Each structure stands twice: as structure tokens, then as C-alpha cells.
Homo-oligomer: A and B are copies of this chain.
Amino acid sequence: MTQTVPAPLPADFFPADCPVQSVPVLGSRKWAWRIVRCLEGGPRRFSELRVPLAGITAKVLAESLRSMEQDGAVVRTEYAENPPRVEYALTPLGRTLLGPMDAVCEWSRENLGSLLAARLEYERAER
């Protein structure tokens, strides 16, 4: 019975090079998860993406796609046509995100109700 108390957490509990703090590609970007989902079925054009991503502005969509491209999750292909056509697609690396994303989505499906209930309960207990 020497282990009734958990060991204290060391200062280097998280290694300096451990950026699991937040998924880099999905970052804190509001739209990144949904963009990945939209590209799951194949390449999409810029304006085509704006339909399901209701409310996104061109600026934010362009910014998001650019940052995902920097991270190697998305490829941008420009066709020399007129009017111009640009397609975005997931790279193999981008596709590897689908696994963890599915895990999170399943978590939401199973536990979101409890979470929302907890919020209401907290609010109720406040007063």
C-alpha cells in the first residue's frame, strides 16, 4: 500500500516538442473540419465549397484553404482556362485526418446530449 496517492505531475510532463496541444492542421480554424469533410468525396471548386459552408466569406475560405495547403493537407490545382477554374483536393496526408475526425464525430453523436444537459444544469444551479 505505498501507492494510494498518485504521483505528482512533473514540470516536463509535456515534452517541448509535443504539439498535440491542438491538431496543427485543423488548428483553431473554425472551418477546417468542415472543409475536410467537403473534400472527402473528391476535388471541389472554390465556389462549390461555398455552398455547404453556408455563410463563409471568400476571404476566410481562401485563408483556410491556404493554411491547409501549407500544412500539406490540401492541394490546389489551377487550370489555365477562361473563366478560371481552381480545384482543391485532399492529399494522402489530408486523408489521414479522417480517422481522428471520425472518432471525434462519434464522440459528439454519443455524448453531445449529456454535454448540453450539463450546461443547462450548471446554468440552473447558478441562480
Residues of A within 8 A of B (CB): 6-14, 18-25, 28, 30-31, 33-34, 37-38, 41-42, 44, 48-49, 51-54, 69-73, 93, 96-97, 99-100, 103-108, 110-112, 114-115, 117-119, 121-122
Contact = CB atoms under 8 A, between A and B. Distances in A.
Contact of A23 (B11, B20, B108): B108
Residue from A18, A19, A22, A97 having most chain B Cβ neighbours under 10 A: A22
B48 A119 contact: no
A47 B101 CA distance: 33
Copies of the protein in its oligomer:
2
A38 B9 contact: yes
12 contacts: A9-B41, A9-B44, A13-B52, A14-B53, A20-B33, A20-B105, A21-B33, A21-B34, A93-B111, A93-B115, A96-B107, A104-B104
